[in-house]
Chains A and B, each alone.
Chain A
Amino acid sequence: MAKLIEVRFHGRGGQGAKTAAQLLAETALGGGMYIQAFPEYGPERAGAPMKAFTRISDEPINLHCGVTSPGVVVVIDSTIMESIDVAEGLGDEGILIVNTEEKPEAVRQKIKFNKGKVFTVNATQISLDILGRSMPNTPMLGALVKATGIIKVKDLEEKLKKKFLKKIGEKAVKGNIEAIERAYKEVESG
């Protein structure tokens, strides 16, 4: 039986959730996996809550429906948790990764999530420190790698370089790689 991994990203329009979902998928593709990445298209506007999804499998993916029971949820903007149940559909083995300065235990209490594993990392601070602006999507991928091991940090960094070097330049690519590595180190579980 194929092993299918489904990831849901929560962010706000403009925060790079779609890019993160796609970068994760493309990195997995480079490792020989079958992939899908797609955002949930609503009325698109900057700042509005949105979701993006990634499916990864070692066999062709036939499913073309939305992801309703993800194995992994990544919350790029923790303020979304006030209005949206980010843990919806997460099973007993579910992994929740949140961009926040708070500890995993505090997140658990706040959203009353008692299952699976919770990881937290202050990805916003990391991107502010390194990139000089809030772009938490790439450090969140660093945290995701640590929490799940779906892909390798090295592959992620190489894919990022290949995909974005032309677009954002060497300095920004280096910064993003540094942010990924720092988030990988700093992510806490509980």
Chain B
Amino acid sequence: MKDKLALTGNEAVAHAMRQINPDVLAAYPITPQTEIVMAFSRFVADGVVDTEMVPVESEHSAMSACVGASASGVRTMTATCSQGLALMWEIVYIASSLRLPIVMPVVNRALSAPINIHCDHSDSMGARDSGWIQIYCENGQEAYESTILAVRIAEEEKILLPVMVCLDGFITSHAVERIQLLEDKVVKDWVSERKTKYSLLDVENPLTYGPLHLQDYYFESKRQEAEAMRNAYSAIPKVVDKFEKLTGKRYDYLEEYKMDGAELAVLCLSSTYGTAKTAVDRLRAKGVKAGMVKLRFFRPFPAKEVVNALSKAKAVAILDRSDTFSNQGGPVFNEIRSAFYEKKDKPFIINHIYGLGGRDINVEDIEKVYTDLEEILKQKKVETLVNYLGVRE
């Protein structure tokens, strides 16, 4: 381990990319992701990486360049968020369908309209069905380490899927925190060289990427894509085990906080989990049996792990930082509620949508969620399934 540095989340991610030293990086700047590309382009200019950087004219072109580069067999990265992710949409699906192991930090930001540069998860949650693996990071340290972890997950022979590494815009991306980097050599050895059996430039073994599949083969392609995500679910823990040997840290599907003996539980993603720990500490000090679960991987969705963890509680609230506008709550809630269908003796499960467009969520807000859960246990019924937390109505 190297010295502890004061870095923003974005700078930490840029350092991960420097140490990964991808062959190609094609990107277009967008707030609050800009700093990643800015810092990385400095590494390119200073010659500390030998990445071919492609400064494209849009995110659509960024992902297109990444698809071409990755299909040729080289290690490829980009970074984006919000409107940028929206603009690269059609190519996002192509990257996963062609099974290209591209790693893309997504600095979560709200989608227009109204125009807003601050954090929510609408951008990456919108891409939840695109076939990408998604990791959500609590802080700069996790964003740094997850980016390094993601390379091996994406390129794992049994997986071969692109990965989004999501960090909260401004909250994580622009906050300076104490970050500990791994040694350059350790990361270099961990990622090593990308090996692929499927290079577009391998003239000895010619192959085709992205042909026309109509009624005859398209379905089989998609079935294989579904299988790849199932393989990812069983293969990721093995990569995580190896990563633990390197860093001493577990990057499991979930993380639990004071769930032993917890009657009331809250599940959330990303930076909110840190704030919520303080809420749990305060409630536990008052004798409230509160616990927390952090969902780190949203794709593949670890249904079994989520059900096991939350089944310990009697009432559960799922925090979503985006809405589906389906009148059925946020995306995380929908997934979890569905996962509980077969479970007998399930806890009450409600949804709180919060923090859209960067609306701050503080310790008191989260304590209020536990108060709602206490009331549900008292009444033994759910009055409002989908709640909006911290909004003026």
Which residues does A use to contact B, with CB under 8 Å? 22, 25-26, 29, 33-39, 41, 61-66, 68
Closest to A4 in B: B278
Report B-chain residues with C-beta under 8 Å of the C-beta of A25: 6, 176
**A64, B118: Cβ atoms under 8 Å?**
no
Which residues does B use to contact A, with CB under 8 Å? 4, 6, 117-118, 138-139, 168, 170-172, 174-178, 271-272, 274-275, 277-278, 360-363
Beyond contacts A65-B275, A66-B360: 20 other A-B pairs, Cβ-Cβ < 8 A, are A22-B6, A29-B6, A29-B178, A33-B178, A36-B177, A37-B6, A38-B174, A41-B117, A41-B170, A41-B174, A62-B277, A63-B274, A63-B278, A63-B363, A64-B139, A64-B272, A64-B274, A65-B361, A65-B362, A66-B362
Selected A-B contacts with CB under 8 Å, 15 pairs:
A25-B6, A29-B178, A33-B178, A35-B6, A35-B176, A36-B176, A38-B175, A38-B176, A41-B170, A63-B278, A64-B138, A64-B175, A65-B362, A65-B363, A68-B362
**A34, B178: Cβ atoms under 8 Å?**
yes
Task: With both chains docked as a complex, state the minimum distance between the C-beta of B210 and any C-beta of chain A, in angstroms.
Answer: 40
> How far apart are the CA atoms of A55 and B25 in the complex, in Å?
34
Report B-chain residues with C-beta under 8 Å of the C-beta of A34: 178
Task: With both chains docked as a complex, state the minimum distance between the C-beta of B362 and any C-beta of chain A, in angstroms.
Answer: 4
**B117, A64: Cβ atoms under 8 Å?**
no
Report B-chain residues with C-beta under 8 Å of the C-beta of A66: 360, 362
Report A-chain residues with C-beta under 8 Å of the C-beta of B4: 29
**A37, B175: Cβ atoms under 8 Å?**
yes
Task: With both chains docked as a complex, state the minimum distance between the C-beta of B368 and any C-beta of chain A, in angstroms.
Answer: 13
Closest to B277 in A: A62
Report A-chain residues with C-beta under 8 Å of the C-beta of B139: 64
Task: With both chains docked as a complex, state the minimum distance between the C-beta of B355 and any C-beta of chain A, in angstroms.
Answer: 10
Task: With both chains docked as a complex, state the minimum distance between the C-beta of A21 and any C-beta of chain B, in angstroms.
Answer: 8
Report A-chain residues with C-beta under 8 Å of the C-beta of B177: 35-36, 61
**B275, A22: Cβ atoms under 8 Å?**
no
Task: With both chains docked as a complex, state the minimum distance between the C-beta of B59 and any C-beta of chain A, in angstroms.
Answer: 22
> How far apart are the CA atoms of A36 and B139 in the complex, in Å?
11
Closest to B140 in A: A36
Known contacts A26-B6, A63-B275, A65-B363, A35 near B170 by CB under 8 Å: no
**B274, A39: Cβ atoms under 8 Å?**
no
> How far apart are the CA atoms of A36 and B278 in the complex, in Å?
16
